[in-house]
Structure 1
Amino acid sequence: MKITYLAYTQQPDKSTRLSVVSYDEWKQIVQENHMLPTEKRRYFITDCFQDTGTLDCMVIETSYEEYRKWNRERMASKRNRNLGQKICILSLNTYRKDSQDCVALEDVLQADDHTERKMIDKVQLEALQKELEDWRPWGVFLLELYLAGEHRNCVPMLVRKYKVSPQTARKYKRQFEKFLKKFFGGVSF
């Protein structure tokens, strides 16, 4: 493995240019960095590549912004490698040995579980509850009754809970059903 150190050095014409430095010069820069404030430090990135069967590494001085970008990418890559060691990825076409049959994972996962549909229903129900809370104080109560299968008995329950007349409770029920039709886009109940 060959390591090359590149650092900004001052040239005879007073300009600074990226030049090859020795390991000792680079080590001295790094040691001096520890005593400097963050904004005056010098930052280095490492770039390694395979060249004609040998690994070549370059330690290159760069700006703080470039160093931060490089370090973010390096840390994300490291996290992904570490997490990748903890998981096992299986293709849905993989067959699992059942008692007598070989069954594809895809068939097992799709046969019993409708997770996607359940999640969509849950999100839709939460959105409906939020809309009903904003709409009327008795909207969520009527939804709970409907979900419990008590839509035929909801008028007397509304009368007792909200202390309204049966006629007003029936009006609430009609308004609720109209709201549901509008929310679900014309589905009949």
Structure 2
Amino acid sequence: MTRPNELGELMLDPDEAQRKMDQWAAGLEEKAQRYAAAQERTEELRLTATSSDGAVKVTVGADGGVTALEFGNKARTYPMEELSRQILATMHQAQGGIAGKVAEVMQESLGDEDQETRELMIGTLRSRFPEIEEEEPTASEPPPPPPPSASTPPPSQAPRERRHEAPDDEGNSPW
């Protein structure tokens, strides 16, 4: 901030000391405004990813939280386990872009100021939300065929065989 001789000079000239303190305070206020603007822009960030087949679309905020979840018609054909896997994979894909977007906002708002703090923050985001390359989904089983249309008659069913139980079994039925 000041050199050893400069401190003595400032003590001799109170007006110069006041001017330097005002400059320092103005610099801090300006820096606080830039950081507030960067924080505000970061809080407004939204990143969206869509599964390769369009079944799932996930939007996340800069904190990684899901802000929107949408399903395409293809999602109806997936078994629940596969749909869950698609949701998580797509969410992780969206989250993988958080560190890069926050780094862009900080660069635009702060320039090269405070590199150490920025690197620490971006490093933390990268460890929480690593970038994930989009990959083709590998379904554990193919999606079921679409439901029959109204013009398709339902498949015929064979008559069921009736089973007669002994009277002793009636009291043991859990149903």
Task: Give the structure-1-normalised TM-score.
Answer: 0.27
Q: Which has the higher strand share?
A: 1
Pair member with larger Rg: 1
For normalisation by structure 2, the TM-score amounts to 0.28
